[in-house]
Structure 1
Amino acid sequence: MYPMEILYSKTILAFLKKVKGLAQEILTEEMSLPVGRSRFHIGALSYPLHFTVFDHPSKLGYFQHDLYEIGINKLFLLEEEETIKDLLRHELAHYMTFIEHGPDVSPHGKEFREICKKYGWSTEVARAQVSIEKAVKNKQIVDKVRKLLSLATSPEPKEAEAATLKAQELLAKYNVKFHEEDDPIHLLRVLQKKRGSAKLQAIASILRLFFVYPIFNHGKGVLYLEILGDPLNIEVAEYVAHFLDHHFELLWKEAKKEEPRLKGTVAKNSFFRGIAEGYEKKGLPTSRTLIQIEKSLAAIYPQITSRKVSYHHSEAAAKKGREKGKGLKIREGLRQKKQQLAINIKNC
C-alpha cells in the first residue's frame, strides 16, 4: 500500500487558507449552513473545518471521519478555483453523509448520491477526477517554478533577473503564492491506537532520536502517533515505530522471566518508560530541521495543546527497563537521530 504523506510548507499553508475560504463559500452559499472561523453549524451542533494537503499517485482527496479532516492532493495546488471547489463539494458530501448516516455506509452509495442531489451538485462532483495528463503537467510546472526560484539566487544578475521574471509569470498565471526555500515538512501517521499509553509515549520518546518530531493527534475514539520530518527520516522512523510496538512486548516478557516479581500495569508502564530512558542515554543530537518544524507547529496544528501526565511508578521495573533500553539495538544500518517533545492535539 502506497503511504499517504501529508505535506506542509509556506506555499501549502497559503493554499490551505485559500481552500478554507472556498469551503466556507460552499457551506454558506450552496449548503445554507452557518459558518464560523473554523467550524460550521448544523442545528445545535458544530463541526470542525480542518484541511490537509497530501502526496499520493492516485488518491485525489479524502474525508477522514475520526479526525473530521478533509485531504486534498498536492496536484490541486495549480488547479483553477472551480476544480478545487468540485473536489471540496465531493469531500463535503462525504462529511455530510457521515454526519447524517455515520461511518458504516457505502462511500459512494445512495446516501452519498442523495447528499449531492440535495445540494444540486453535478455528476462531476460525485466523480471529482483530474486527468493523469493534467496531473503530470501540474507537477512539471511546480518543478519548473522551483528551479526558476533557485536560479533567481544566481550571482549572475541577468540570469537571476530572467529566472525571477519567468517564475513570477508562472505564479501569476496559476494564481499561486510560492515561497523560496520552501521544502515541505512531511507528516505520516505511523501508529493508530484507541487511547494513549506509557508504551506509546516511550516509543515517541525514542523516535526523537531519529530526527522526526512525534505528535499525538486525538480523534473521535482514536489516537494517532504522527511523525514530522524529511522523507528519509520519516521512512526510517516509521519502521522503528512498528518495530518498537512489537519488540516492547517481547522485552517485557523477557524481563518478567528474569525478574518474576515484576507484575501488573504499574510495573509494565514503568518498564516501558525505563526502556526509553535507557535508550536516550545514547545521546540527543540537535537538528535545524526539527527546530523549523517546532516553529511551524501552531500553523500545522491550530488546536495544539501540551499537558503533563501524572502516573504511578515502580522504580524496580523502571531500572530493569533502563537496562534493556541501554542494550536495545534497532537493526544495524539505521542511523541514530533525535527530536524534541511529544505534543497532544485535538481536532474534533
Structure 2
Amino acid sequence: MVSLHETLHRPWLTELLRSWHEFNKRHLGGALRPPVLQIDLSTARLGHWQRDTRTLSLAHDHLLSHRWDDVLDTLKHEMAHQYVDEVLGGDVRPHGPQFARACALLEIRPDATGSPRASDDPAARVLKRVQKLLALATSANRHEAEAAMAAANTLLLRYNLDLPQDGPPRDYEARRLGDSAAAIALEAKLISSILSEFFFVECIWVTTYNARRLRHERVLEVLGTAENLEMAAYVHDFLHASTKRLWEQAKKDMDLPANRRREFSAGLLTGFRDKLRGERQRNEEQGLVWLGDADLDRYLRSRHPYIRSMGSAAVHRGRAHAAGRAAGEGLTLHKPVREHQSRGLSLPRGRDD
C-alpha cells in the first residue's frame, strides 16, 4: 500500500527537480550536476545540502505548510551551498563571501531574516507620513476622509516623481500577494489593474505550484521598490477585505442574490478606480504628471521575458453593479500601512543551521 507521504513526495520531487534544472540553467549556466533530491520528515530545518552524499533535502512540513515561492527560495538557498562546494571550491564559513556570491547569481538574499530599515531612511519617513494620513481617513466626515486619502496618494506621487532619473538603477524587488488559484477571479484581476495603474508597481500573474492539491495555479506577483511594494500589498489586502465586507452589507440591505457578487465587485472596483483617476487628473492639473518607470519595465521584462496579455470578461451592469459602483466611489483607504521592517523575503530561522 502506498503511504500518504509517498503519494505527496513523488509529485513534489518531480516539481522540485524541474525547478532545480530551470534555476541551474537560468542563473548558473548549467554549472551544477543534479543532486539527490530528498523530502526530509524532520522538522528541525527547512532545507539542507549534504556535500558528501550530494543530497539536497527539503522538509516535508515546509512544502506542506508554506507558499511554494518560499519553498523555491529554500531550494535556491541550498543550491547556493551546492554551488559553493562544487564550483567555487568551498568556503570555511557556511555563509561566507563565496555563499554570498552564489546567492547573488541565484537572485536571493544571503541572510535568512533580513535587516531593519534605518529609521532615518527617506523612504521610511515617507511611509510613516502616508501612515498618518491614512489614519486621518478614518474620519466620519466623508470629505475629510477623502481629503486625507487624496493627500496620501499625492505624497506617494511626489515621492516617486522626486526619485532621480539618472544614476544607478533603483533597487527593485518582487513580492507575491494573495493566495494562488486555478482560475483568476475577476475581482483579483481588477485589483491587480488598480495596483499597476495607481501605485507605482508592475503586476503579472505567474504560475506556481500548490503542494497540497498537487497542481499548478496562478498567483499575483508585484514588482517595484520596497516602499511601493509595501503600499501595494496594503492596498491589495484592503480592497479584497473591503469588497467582501461591502458585498455582505449590500446583499443584506438590498436583498441581492448570492450569484450577483461578481457583478457587485466589478462595479465597486470600477467606481474606486474612477475615483482614483479623478484624483490623478487633479494632480496633473497641478503639474504632477507620472510618465511611468522605464527601469521598472526593464526589470519586469528581464524577470519575465515572455509576457502574454490577459483577456477581460464582460459583466452584467444591473442593480448590483450600480450598487457596487456607488460603494466604490465612496470608498477610502482608511487604515494605516504597517511600518516596513525589512527588505526582501524574510524566511523562518533554521533553514540549514
Q: TM-score with structure 1 length normalisation?
A: 0.48
Q: Which has the higher contact order (CA 8 A, sep 6+)?
A: 2
Q: TM-score with structure 2 length normalisation?
A: 0.47
